[in-house]
Amino acid sequence: MLRWRKTWEIAKKDMASIRRHRYVIYSLLAMPIIFAIVVPFTSIYPMLSVGEVPSTELPPFAPANVPAKQAMILSMVNMALLMFMFIPAAIPSTIATYTFVGEKVNKQLEPLLATPTTDSELLIGKSIGAFLPGIAATFASFIAFVCLVDALTFSTFNLLILPNPLSLVIIFIFSPLIGIMSVEWCVFVSSKVSDVRAAMQLGIVSIAPVLALYFLFLGGILTLSLPALAIFGAILILATIGLFFLSKATFERENILTKWK
Amino acid sequence: MIELEGLTRKFGELIAVDNLTFAVGEGEVFGLLGPNGAGKTTTVRMLCCLIRPTSGKAFVGGFEVGKDSLKIREIVGLLPENPGLYDELSAYRNLDFFAKLYDVPEKKRKENIEYFLRMLDLWNRKDELVGTFSKGMKQKIAIARALVHEPKVLFLDEPTAGLDPEAAMVVREFILELKKERRTIFICTHNLDEAEKLCDRIAILNHRVVAMGSPAELERGLWEKTTVVHLRSVNENILKAIEGIEGVRKVEAIENKLLINVDEPEMRNPLIVRAIVNAGGEIEFVTELKRGLEEVYMRLIGGKNA
């Protein structure tokens, strides 16, 4: 039986702790700012001022049934949306590295393990502490991105192009799944390394599915159709479940004190 | 309060803790003394339900280790070898966090945090980040953390390790204060002086219990009682007079000092004193030879004949 009050206390403590880590704060601020502000201004804004776009120059993933220029802008927006999945992959992974490996290296886990909390309460509490800031940063960044893109493109489309169904799927389904997966992966990594930098390097593996989707889409191998997104979603769900069991088996008092490196 | 029955822990082929059987009473300060790697920390971890025994049983506060883990963790406080505080949080926030995990009600939580921080002379620095504290101050905060939920049993693993003499003294004095409060305290240490000063009973551990008892009992178990007589000068007549007394096993003269191994010294020391005086000896003072825990320890663990 999970006691949410204790779980939440652990999450709150971890979130309070990471506020003091400059590297984490920079990641929390830098990535969302890049995706919300820099990307629209560097990839979408220049498209607005070009004249006509020859249809031969359209990328393979450009939507059909719209004028070439609009198709190009929509393609850029979709590409930018896919990039949003990097935020929940990278930020929770960075935080989890500090709260799991960092605490292990600083020998802060033993007093915590001695408290009357269950392994699940500790694991879930610490996972929430790493997950929430990442997902909050993703949402905040997404809202800023939507506002900026709509403001920039309204005169071209005469309608608000965001949020569209793809953006909602990415933000509300894929991003949380990727965030959870990245924390679970970091828990596993924590048991294998005893160095924060090494953990960060291994933790970055959690962006692999996002990269795969991005390049498959970019190369035109994958279209952003409903079946393709459903398959990707199903893969994410299966991976999340698999990693949950792996992290649960890893994060066990006895293992942490006797087997973790 | 604590009972161990054949408690054993193996790591693969290595037997870290072998068949420990003893009990620690309520209000007792019990010391586990042994070299590095003797199994002290493993024993504490088992008793705090952090790792499971391979075989045997242990009970803390009537709850069985491995079966009532949450209940045991509720009634024990642990000071691990490394304080493991959150440097990026304040002293108050560190204690508040742990008190919450122990379900200490809010009013009591505030009272206890203030009480322990004042007692340890850190109340004025309660809002400062622990990362800015000295090693001694961190150790004090870690002790306060172990106590903030008022545990029935306190486990202290090397409580003064790495502290400067002054900080170590403050910590030892604090433990003596806790002793007055009749808390059950289980101390792991390889500081012999500390164990002798703080503990009612000591178990010398080297994977298994090598010896157990009060410091005086441990000493008595290894050596015959020795009376030391300091004289103005020692001569043959005095030695012969003493050797003639029944129950005197051995007499050794070192400068102006006589070391006399004797059965039942309380009964025979007056006879010895009279014999010395009758032989013309001038006694300065008479004492019992105290060997101290260090000699006991070295004899049992160090393999030296002290």
For range B71-82, the mean pLDDT: 93
**In angstroms, how far is the first alpha carbon of chain B from the final one?**
35
Spatial contact of A50 and A69, defined as CB atoms under 8 Å apart = yes
Question: Nearest CA of chain A to the CA of B264: how many Å?
Answer: 49
| Cross-chain CB nearest to A17 (options B49, B88, B98) | B88
Give which of B9, B86, B103 to mutate to test A binding, by max A Cβ within 10 Å: B86
Q: Does B306 have pLDDT greater than 70?
A: no
Residue in B closest to A7 by C-alpha: B101
> Where residue A259 falls among pLDDT bands split at 50, 70, 90?
confident
Q: Where are the alpha helices (DSSP H) in chain B?
A: 40-47, 69-75, 91-101, 106-119, 135-147, 165-180, 192-198, 215-220, 236-243, 265-278, 292-297
Write the pLDDT tens digit of every residue in A6-31: 999 999 999 998 888 888 888 788 98
Q: Does A216 have pLDDT greater than 60?
A: yes
Write the pLDDT tens digit of every residue in A139-190: 999 999 999 999 999 988 889 999 998 899 999 999 999 999 999 999 888 8
Burial of B290 (0-12, 13-18, 19+ CB in 10 A): exposed
What pLDDT is recorded for position B117?
A: 92
CATH number of B224-290: 3.30.70.100
Chain B interface includes A115 (CB < 8 A): yes
Interface of B with A (CB under 8 A): 11, 45, 48-52, 70-71, 73-74, 76, 78, 80, 82-89, 93, 97-98, 100-103, 129, 142, 145-146
Could you tell me what percent of chain B has a pLDDT over 90?
45
| Cross-chain CB nearest to B98 (options A5, A20, A115) | A115
For range B275-304, the mean pLDDT: 77
> A258–B51: do the CB atoms touch at under 8 Å?
yes
Residue type for position B212: M
Least confident of A41-50, A56-65, A153-162, B297-306: B297-306
What pLDDT is recorded for position B304?
A: 42
Residue B225 backbone dihedrals phi, psi, to 5 degrees: -70, 135
Q: Where are the alpha helices (DSSP H) in A102-252?
A: 103-105, 109-113, 119-157, 165-169, 175-190, 196-203, 208-218, 226-250
> Where residue B222 falls among pLDDT bands split at 50, 70, 90?
low
**Mean pLDDT of all residues in chain B?**
87
Chain B interface includes A21 (CB < 8 A): yes
- In the A/B pair of chains, how many CB contacts fall below 8 A? 76
Question: Nearest CA of chain A to the CA of B136: how many Å?
Answer: 17
For range B90-95, the mean pLDDT: 96
What pLDDT is recorded for position B110?
A: 95
Instruction: Spell out the CATH class of B2-214.
Output: alpha beta
What pLDDT is recorded for position A13?
A: 94
Question: In sequence order, which residues have a C-beta less than 8 Å from that of residue A160 and are 6 or more positions away?
Answer: A150, A154
Which of B71, B97, B100 is closest to B84 using CA atoms?
B97
Domain ranges of chain B: 2-214, 224-290
| Cross-chain CB nearest to B100 (options A9, A19, A114) | A9
Residue type for position A83: M
Contacts of A9 in chain B (CB under 8 A): 97, 100-101
Residue type for position B145: R
Give which of B17, B87, B101, B141 to mutate to test A binding, by max A Cβ within 10 Å: B101
Ramachandran bin of B238, using left for φ above 0, alpha for ψ from -120 to 50, beta for the remaining angles: alpha
**Mean pLDDT of all residues in chain A?**
88
What pLDDT is recorded for position A205?
A: 83
Chain B interface includes A17 (CB < 8 A): yes
Contacts of A257 in chain B (CB under 8 A): 45, 50-51
Q: Where are the alpha helices (DSSP H) in A34-97?
A: 39, 45-49, 68-83, 86-96
What pLDDT is recorded for position B221?
A: 66
What pLDDT is recorded for position B302?
A: 66
